Amino acid sequence: MLLFLFLQSVESQILSNIVFNFPSGCNRTEYFDASHLLCVPCRNGSVPSFDSFGCVCSPRQRLVEVTPGGPVCQDCPPGTFSAPDGLSCIGCMGRPNCTTICSPDSVAVYRKTDGSLPEVSGVDCVRCTEGTRPDASQERCEKCSDRLCLCTNGNNDTSCPTTLNVISSPSLSTIFLSSGDVISTRINATTLISSAKRCQLGSQTDCQALGNICVLQNYQRDVQTACTIFESISNVPAVNQWASNMPWLFYYSTDAASELQREGVIDQIFKFTKDNYGDLDILAARYTLNGSFMGLDPISDGSAQLCVESLVAAHKTFSFGTRIRQTCHLDVAELMRHEEPVFFDLYLRFTNTQGQQQMYPLPVLNQNIRKTGGYPNREERPAQWILTRRFFLVDAWSLKDMETGNWTALRYAARLELNVEMVNTRDGKIYPPYVRVAYEELRTTEIVPAREVDASFSIKYYTNPFRHDKDLEIAMAVLSSLTVLWSALRAYSWGRRAGKTVFDIATLIQFLLFECSSLGDVFLFVTTVTVCWLTFAYKAQTFLFYMQLTPSQESTLMAYLIAAASLKLVALLHKFVSLMLTETFFIDWEKPKVLPRADLDRPASLDPIKFDGAKEQPVVIWRTYLVANEWNELQNYRKTSMAVQVLAMVFFLDFLQWKDLAIWQPGFEIDPMLSSFASSRVSRMAVSLFFYFSIGFTQWLLNVFIVERILLDPFHNFIDLCSIANISVLSLSHPLYGYYIHGRSVHGWADTGMTQMNEFLQRERDNLVGMRGLESGGELQTYFVSLPLSFRKRYTELTTGSSTDASGATARMQNVDPTTIQISSRARTHAAMNRFLQDMVEHSLPEVDYTIRERTMVEAALDIELSDSSTLGVFTRDHSESAFSACFVYGNEWAKLSFEALLFSIVFVYTNSVSLAAVTTYLSAISLRTIASTMSTNHLVKSSLVDHRFLI
Residue 536's SS3 state is helix
Measured CA to CA, the distance from residue 361 to residue 319 in angstroms comes to: 19
Q: What pLDDT is attached to residue 439?
A: 93
Measured CA to CA, the distance from residue 750 to residue 757 in angstroms comes to: 8
Which candidate, 297, 392, 391, 402, places its Cα nearest to that of 338?
Answer: 392
Q: Residue range 159-179: average pLDDT?
A: 75
DSSP-assigned beta bridge partners for residue 182: 176
Measured CA to CA, the distance from residue 557 to residue 60 in angstroms comes to: 74
Q: What pLDDT is attached to residue 237?
A: 44
- Residue 266 or residue 814, greater confidence: 266
* Range in 452-461, 596-605, 875-884 the model is least confident about: 596-605
pLDDT level of residue 75 (50, 70, 90 thresholds): confident
Per residue in 47-65, pLDDT (tens digit) is 888 888 888 888 778 888 8
Measured CA to CA, the distance from residue 131 to residue 277 in angstroms comes to: 54
The secondary element (H helix, E strand) that includes residue 765 is: helix 754-765
- To the nearest whole number, what is the mean pLDDT of the chain? 82
- Extended strands (E) in 393-537: 394-395, 409-421, 434-443, 452-462
- Cβ 218 vs Cβ 180: under 8 Å: no
Q: What is the DSSP secondary structure assignment for residue 550, as one 8-state letter?
A: P
Mention every residue, 6+ apart, whose C-beta is less than 8 A from residue 470: none
Per residue in 913-936, pLDDT (tens digit) is 999 999 999 999 999 999 999 999
Q: What is the DSSP secondary structure assignment for residue 47, as one 8-state letter?
A: E
Mention every residue, 6+ apart, whose C-beta is less than 8 A from residue 57: 45, 46, 47, 63, 71, 73, 82, 86
pLDDT level of residue 319 (50, 70, 90 thresholds): confident
- Extended strands (E) in 625-734: 727-734
Q: Name the residue type at position 238.
A: A
Q: Residue range 224-251: average pLDDT?
A: 70
Distances in whole angstroms, Cα of residue 215 to Cα of each of 184, 218, 284, 389: 15, 5, 16, 9
- Cβ 542 vs Cβ 272: under 8 Å: yes
Highest mean pLDDT pick, 51-55, 144-148, 688-692, 745-749: 688-692
Residues, the chain, total? 952
Mention every residue, 6+ apart, whose C-beta is less than 8 A from residue 478: none
Pairing of strands 583-588, 593-595: unpaired
Per residue in 775-829, pLDDT (tens digit) is 988 899 999 999 999 999 999 988 886 555 444 555 555 555 677 777 788 888 9
pLDDT level of residue 6 (50, 70, 90 thresholds): very low
Q: Residue range 727-739: average pLDDT?
A: 95
| Phi (first) and psi of residue 337, to 5 degrees | -80, -10
119, HSE (Cβ side, Cα atoms, 13 Å): 2
- Cβ 398 vs Cβ 216: under 8 Å: yes
Reduced 3-state DSSP string for 784-819:
EEECCHHHHHHHHHHHHHHHCCCCHHHHHHHCCCHH
Mention every residue, 6+ apart, whose C-beta is less than 8 A from residue 921: 642, 646, 900, 903, 904, 907
Percent of the chain with pLDDT over 70: 83
Measured CA to CA, the distance from residue 499 to residue 734 in angstroms comes to: 9
Measured CA to CA, the distance from residue 307 to residue 333 in angstroms comes to: 16
Measured CA to CA, the distance from residue 522 to residue 476 in angstroms comes to: 7
Q: What pLDDT is attached to residue 5?
A: 34
Q: Residue range 567-582: average pLDDT?
A: 94
pLDDT level of residue 314 (50, 70, 90 thresholds): low
Measured CA to CA, the distance from residue 739 to residue 582 in angstroms comes to: 11
- Cβ 4 vs Cβ 35: under 8 Å: no
Which candidate, 392, 385, 422, 393, places its Cα nearest to that of 251?
Answer: 385
Chain centre distance of CA 100: 72
- Cβ 404 vs Cβ 412: under 8 Å: no
Q: Name the residue type at position 670.
A: I
| Phi (first) and psi of residue 176, to 5 degrees | -90, 115
Q: What pLDDT is attached to residue 179?
A: 77
Q: What pLDDT is attached to residue 449?
A: 86
Q: What pLDDT is attached to residue 52?
A: 83
Q: What pLDDT is attached to residue 124?
A: 62
Mention every residue, 6+ apart, whose C-beta is less than 8 A from residue 927: none
Helices and strands in the chain: count of H runs, count of E runs: 21, 35
Measured CA to CA, the distance from residue 593 to residue 748 in angstroms comes to: 12
Q: Residue range 884-893: average pLDDT?
A: 93
Give the burial class of 647: count Cβ atoms within 10 A of its Cβ; 0-12 exposed, 13-18 middle, 19 or more buried. middle
Residue 737's SS3 state is strand
Per residue in 939-950, pLDDT (tens digit) is 999 999 998 888
Residue 615 has pLDDT above 90, yes or no: no
Q: Work out the end-to-end distance of the chain between its first and last CA atoms, rounded to an integer number of angstroms.
A: 88
Which candidate, 726, 730, 764, 762, places its Cα nearest to that of 743?
Answer: 726
Measured CA to CA, the distance from residue 816 to residue 806 in angstroms comes to: 11
Measured CA to CA, the distance from residue 300 to residue 312 in angstroms comes to: 10
Per residue in 169-178, pLDDT (tens digit) is 888 888 888 7
* Range in 567-571, 763-767, 886-890 the model is least confident about: 763-767
Measured CA to CA, the distance from residue 351 to residue 345 in angstroms comes to: 20
Per residue in 368-393, pLDDT (tens digit) is 998 887 889 988 888 889 999 999 99
Measured CA to CA, the distance from residue 538 to residue 552 in angstroms comes to: 19
Chain centre distance of CA 59: 65
pLDDT level of residue 418 (50, 70, 90 thresholds): very high
- Cβ 20 vs Cβ 39: under 8 Å: no
- Cβ 275 vs Cβ 445: under 8 Å: no
Measured CA to CA, the distance from residue 32 to residue 286 in angstroms comes to: 15
Q: What pLDDT is attached to residue 817?
A: 65
Measured CA to CA, the distance from residue 700 to residue 697 in angstroms comes to: 5
Distances in whole angstroms, Cα of residue 382 to Cα of each of 372, 387, 388, 766: 18, 10, 13, 86
Pairing of strands 38-41, 30-33: antiparallel
Q: Residue range 646-654: average pLDDT?
A: 94
Q: Name the residue type at position 725.
A: A
Q: What is the DSSP secondary structure assignment for residue 118, as one 8-state letter?
A: P
Q: What pLDDT is attached to residue 11?
A: 37
Q: What pLDDT is attached to residue 399?
A: 85
Q: Name the residue type at position 665.
A: Q
Q: Name the residue type at position 336.
A: M
